[in-house]
Amino acid sequence: MNIEEIKNLKTFEERYNYDVSKYIEIKKVEGVSKKTGRQFSYELKYLSWAYAQKIARIVDPKFKWIAVPDENGNLNRNGFVLIEMTFLDETQQHYFPILDASNNAIRTPNTFDINTAQMRGMAKLFAMLSGFGLSLYTGEDIRDIDNTGTQAKPKKELSEKEQKAQGIEYINKNSKEFKKEIDKYLSDYSTNSLDNIPIEKLKELCTFIRETKKQKKGA
């Protein structure tokens, strides 16, 4: 790991584009679809939680995170854990589901299940907050694997202009709740208009918004 190289990554985009392929873990998911009864198998890639913590502390010695218990002191929040993280003086929270080896929700998780969810939730929130490894999650909201191992049938393909227009419309609908995140993207491109942001970055932002809203709703 090139520590100086990592320290010199100053913007969200630079960290997003940093090659983390040496630091990822691959989770093979297998099972039987509850909808179709067919067997499925696919792989998920994500930033290793150990490397996530190491990179975070290299960039920000004040980096910290916790799993937030509910009012009764329980870390299991109806099948989710709530992770709170502070990175470069910015604090965010993220709900992460407690899942089994087949990526299904666990109704009665044990201590190991909850701890695993905390570690994976930490790694994902770090990716969302810092940019490191975030590309591994891009498109997660539209992949729609639904426990079959295959993607859903594609809808009518839209032109890049239409995709961009839809993305901007969705972002604008959520501009109050995600103002801070949207402003960060605008600042990175020194613009006041979402039209001036590349479509891939707009997709990335849409993914972040959808994932965050989905987790909050599920909790």
Q: 33-45: per-residue pLDDT in tens?
A: 766 777 777 777 7
Where are any strands of DSSP class E within the chain?
A: 24-32, 39-47, 64-68, 80-87, 90-97
One domain for residues 16 and 121: yes
Model pLDDT, residue 151: 38
pLDDT (average), residues 23-31: 78
Q: Residues 189-217: pLDDT tens digits?
A: 999 999 999 888 888 888 888 878 776 66
Coil, strand or helix: which one is 58? helix
Interhelix angle 179-188/199-218, rounded to 10 degrees, is 160
Higher confidence at residue 123 or residue 136? Answer: 123
* Helical ranges in 8-79 per DSSP H: 12-16, 49-59
One domain for residues 85 and 19: yes
Q: What is the pTM of this model?
A: 0.61
C-alpha–C-alpha distance, residues 114 and 75, integer Å: 7
Model pLDDT, residue 59: 95
Task: Please count the structural domains in the chain.
Answer: 2
**pLDDT at residue 139 above 80?**
no
Rounded to a whole number of angstroms, the distance between the first and last alpha carbons of the chain is: 37
Indicate the pLDDT class of residue 152, thresholds 50, 70 and 90. very low
**Residue among 101, 93, 97, 65 nearest 78 (CA):** 97
One domain for residues 77 and 183: no
One domain for residues 56 and 90: yes
> Where is the domain boundary, 130, 150, 170?
150
One domain for residues 37 and 137: yes
Model pLDDT, residue 103: 74
One domain for residues 82 and 166: no
One domain for residues 1 and 63: yes
> Where is the domain boundary, 94, 116, 150?
150
pLDDT (average), residues 178-183: 91
**pLDDT at residue 180 above 80?**
yes
Model pLDDT, residue 146: 45
Coil, strand or helix: which one is 90? strand
Coil, strand or helix: which one is 36? coil
One domain for residues 78 and 166: no
One domain for residues 180 and 80: no
Model pLDDT, residue 138: 65
Range of the domain at 64: 1-150
Model pLDDT, residue 157: 54
CATH number of the domain that residue 76 is part of: 3.30.390
Q: Residues 58-106: pLDDT tens digits?
A: 999 999 999 999 989 999 988 899 999 999 999 999 989 998 877 778 8
Model pLDDT, residue 37: 75
Higher confidence at residue 157 or residue 217? Answer: 217
Where does residue 129 rank: exposed (0-12), middle (13-18), buried (19+ CB within 10 A)?
Answer: buried
C-alpha–C-alpha distance, residues 178 and 31, integer Å: 36
Residue 99 DSSP one-character state = B
Write 19-28 long-range contacts (CB < 8 A, 24+): 20/47, 20/51, 20/132, 20/133, 20/136, 23/47, 23/48, 23/51, 23/55, 23/133, 24/48, 24/133, 24/136
**pLDDT at residue 175 above 70?**
yes
> Where is the domain boundary, 150, 184, 211?
150
Higher confidence at residue 153 or residue 167? Answer: 167
One domain for residues 101 and 181: no
One domain for residues 44 and 1: yes
Q: Strand 80-87 vs strand 90-97: parallel, antiparallel, or unpaired?
A: antiparallel
One domain for residues 131 and 43: yes
